[in-house]
Amino acid sequence: MSASIFIGFGSNRGDRADLCDRAVTLISLLPNSQLLGISSIYETEPVDDAGAPGDGWFLNGVVQLKTNITPQSLHAVCCEIEKALGRDPEHRSGPRTMDLDVLFYRDWTVQDAGLTIPHPRLHLRRFVLEPLVELAPSFFHPVLKQTVAALLEKLEDSHRVRKMTPQPIRTTERVLPLASSPDHS
């Protein structure tokens, strides 16, 4: 298993902190996986992707894990977690209870229907790069050939992002080895 799998999470509808906490908990329960780290939680201004304005600021963060689940299966599980947490799969843009994106899967590049890894816009998003840099500043983007810290340093995104203080979810309780997960590092 590799330690360089990162999933971004975010919510701007409902009880955002509870939804983020539940998403992280569900990710930590994946079979043959081990949650290695959780970034701080950031409150972020919505980004208008498709002309559908958000109705509130997001809470965002990133988790790092080890897993031997394939990228496609991991993406499918993320979609199921979104759905279980109230996400409408028909409305991918705009306000959402939960958004989960596979940002990096090791140093792999994946181009499948509905799945692109590395995430195609992560280098344009402060709300992704700030928590990602917190976990792994020297992680190397396999397509852009730069570290995530370098990508953040040159970022021109003007959307406001602020680290939450105190942290609204119990992240420190989540970074424990899972006894049932084999470690094949």
Please give the pLDDT value at position 62. Answer: 97
If one counts the domains in the chain, the total is: 1
Other Cβ atoms within 10 Å of 23 Cβ, number: 26
Q: Residue 31: which domain range? A: 2-173
Within-domain flag for 152: yes
Within-domain flag for 155: yes
Please give the pLDDT value at position 59. Answer: 95
Please give the pLDDT value at position 177. Answer: 39
Q: pLDDT of 155-181, one tens digit each?
A: 998 888 999 888 877 654 544 433 333
> Does 90 score more than 80 pLDDT?
no
Within-domain flag for 47: yes
* Separation of alpha carbons 2 and 107, rounded Å: 10
* Separation of alpha carbons 157 and 152, rounded Å: 9
Pair of tokens at residue 57 = 């600021």
Cis peptide before 166 (omega within 30 of 0): yes
Within-domain flag for 179: no
Please give the pLDDT value at position 183. Answer: 40
Within-domain flag for 14: yes
Residue 60: in which H helix or E strand, if any? strand 58-67
The domain that contains 12 carries what CATH number?
Answer: 3.30.70.560
Pair of tokens at residue 110 = 């994946």
